[in-house]
Structure 1
Amino acid sequence: MALDVLNSQVKNSLSGSAFLDRRSIEEQGPPPPIRSYLCLTIFTCFCPAYPVNIVALIFSIMSRKSYEQGDYDGSRRLGRNALYVAVASIIIGLLIITITCIVHFTAMDF
């Protein structure tokens, strides 16, 4: 009798049903929407701050991969990092364009 109970507990633990409550997974509902800012990071690739643009694009892609794997908190964190790096890339790109224009138009020809 005790052996049968022990065998059923071992079978349940090996199948994962003892540790995984299937009803709680079904009741959770749909996952939260993704915010990876992929379009913004692709747009920043046209700014002249190339190493920073690539980092923003990588963060955005990593955010999507984390979302596909079910890591929603990691996806949100990486998406936020992608946004910050993309905004920094846009600001750096605008500064580079502004400085280049100022130097070009204020240079004196001798």
Structure 2
Amino acid sequence: MALGVLNPQMKSSPRESECFDNSSTEEKEPPLKSYLLLTMLTCLCPAYPVNIVALVCSVMSRSSYYNGDYDGSRRLGKNALYVAIASIIIGLLIIAIICTVHFTTINH
């Protein structure tokens, strides 16, 4: 018997039939969108209090998802995304201000 060819006489386990059964009435879990990687990357920006808030929202989103609160997870994930974007913008503004002050001052 070649690999990949199914034998109709072989019985499948109940677990295997559940994996391939598309007619189940259970609701599937929505995908997790906690933006954890983005919030971890924003910790490199110099807007530290805002970064920490984004990271906490992201971790809380993951916690809510694994507890089964999908609406709360989605809400906290969106909050983490918005705060992370704000953190990036604030960090870029701080870097621009520091560079401008540094390069425009005259050293005597």
- Give TM-score, length-normalised by structure 2: 0.76
RMSD over aligned Cα, in angstroms?
0.9
Q: Does 1:64 find its partner at 2:62? A: yes
Render the CA deviation track for 1:3-57: whole Å, top value 9, x for unaligned: xxxxxxxxxxxxxxxxxxxxxxx62232000100000000000000000000000
Q: Does 1:86 find its partner at 2:91? A: no
Match in the other structure for 1:18: none
Match in the other structure for 1:96: 94
Render the CA deviation track for 1:51-110: whole Å, top value 9, x for unaligned: 000000000000000000000000000000000000000000000000000000000113
1:1-80 paired onto structure 2 within 5 Å: 27-80=25-78
In the alignment, the residues of structure 1 paired with residue 72 and residue 28 of structure 2 have an alpha-carbon distance, to the nearest angstrom, of 17
The DSSP-based 3-state class of the residue aligned with 2:27 is coil
Match 2:105 to one of 95, 101, 107: 107
Match in the other structure for 1:4: none
- Give TM-score, length-normalised by structure 1: 0.75
Q: Share of identical aligned residues, percent?
A: 68
Give the counterpart letter for 2:64 in structure 1.
S
Poorly superposed stretches of 4+, deviation over 2 Å: none
Count of residue pairs brought into register by the alignment: 85
Structure (1 or 2) with the greater helix fraction: 1
In the alignment, the residues of structure 2 paired with residue 27 and residue 91 of structure 1 have an alpha-carbon distance, to the nearest angstrom, of 45
Say which one has the larger Rg.
1
The DSSP-based 3-state class of the residue aligned with 1:27 is coil
Unaligned runs of 5+ in 1: 1-25
Unaligned runs of 5+ in 2: 1-23
Match in the other structure for 1:12: none
In the alignment, the residues of structure 2 paired with residue 90 and residue 97 of structure 1 have an alpha-carbon distance, to the nearest angstrom, of 10
